[in-house]
Amino acid sequence: MNAARNNEVTSVERRALLTWLENFYLQRYFRGRGIEVGALWRRFPLPRRARVWQLDRLNCAELEEHYPELRGKLLRPDLLAEASELPVPPGSLDFLIASHVLEHLPFPLKALRAWYDALAPGGVLLLKIPDKRYTFDVRRERTPLQHLIAESDHPQAFDQWAHYADWVANLGNQSADSDGFDNAVADLMRRDYSIHFHVWIDEDVREMVDFTRREWRLNWEPVVFWGAHFYRKETTVVLVRKG
């Protein structure tokens, strides 16, 4: 029993060390002024040469109501805005950080374009996106790129109910014909609860980035692309906007 417990502690410590080393490596890309989107309580450890503003769509009181389990831990946002509608001039930021944010957005392609536009030449976008194979989304179907493109091109056709229903069915373990299913979906929609509207694996993230470069001619380059691993349950991408 003690040996198993010791092995478990050692494994947790090893994952923590590897994560710290990765974040330390990533710090080389950050300097100047930037925005971190939706950090909640997990501020990315930036070097001193970087100045960051925290952005969220909700103020601190609203965040505590939305996430009561995080009461007392949440960062106070400096800026209030939607993630894809940054309140900054085009080309004005040296960096953007979006860790575990993109999957929460109904229109992630719109966000990627907005973030690209906000970056100055040489600016950096850090994305950390959970890989469904290692999270509570494991039972859910991956969101194909064509689905994202269709919803981006025709936002009026976005089926909010279907996204919330998928969440309730797979995470709430409720079938669509069970008592309370419709009420559970309606309650989440009423609260505008921040679910994972989309789920991906690292291949899907690469496909999204490639799409923005190929079809939209967004002139940025992935200088880091780390797929999910036994200790890193997310895809980590660093994109640098070219001049």
pLDDT at 4: 52
Residue spans per domain, the chain: 2-135+200-241, 145-190
pLDDT at 64: 95
pLDDT at 173: 84
pLDDT at 14: 84
pLDDT in tens, the chain (243 residues): 555 555 555 777 888 899 999 999 999 999 999 999 999 999 999 999 999 999 999 999 999 999 999 999 999 999 999 999 999 999 999 999 999 999 999 999 999 999 999 999 999 999 999 999 999 999 999 999 999 999 999 999 999 999 999 999 999 888 888 999 999 999 999 999 999 999 999 999 999 999 999 999 999 999 999 999 877 899 999 999 998
Q: Which CATH architecture has domain 2-135+200-241?
A: 3-Layer(aba) Sandwich (3.40)
* DSSP line for the chain: -HHHHHHHHHHHHHHHHHHHHHHHHHGGG--EEEEEES-TT------TTEEEEEEESS-HHHHHHH-GGGTTTPPPPSEE--TTS-SS-TT-EEEEEEES-GGG-S-HHHHHHHHHHHEEEEEEEEEEEEBGGGSTTTTSPP--HHHHHHHHH-GGG--HHHHHHHHHHHHS---TTSTTHHHHHHHHHHTT-------B-HHHHHHHHHHHHHTS---EEEEEEE---SS--EEEEEEEE--
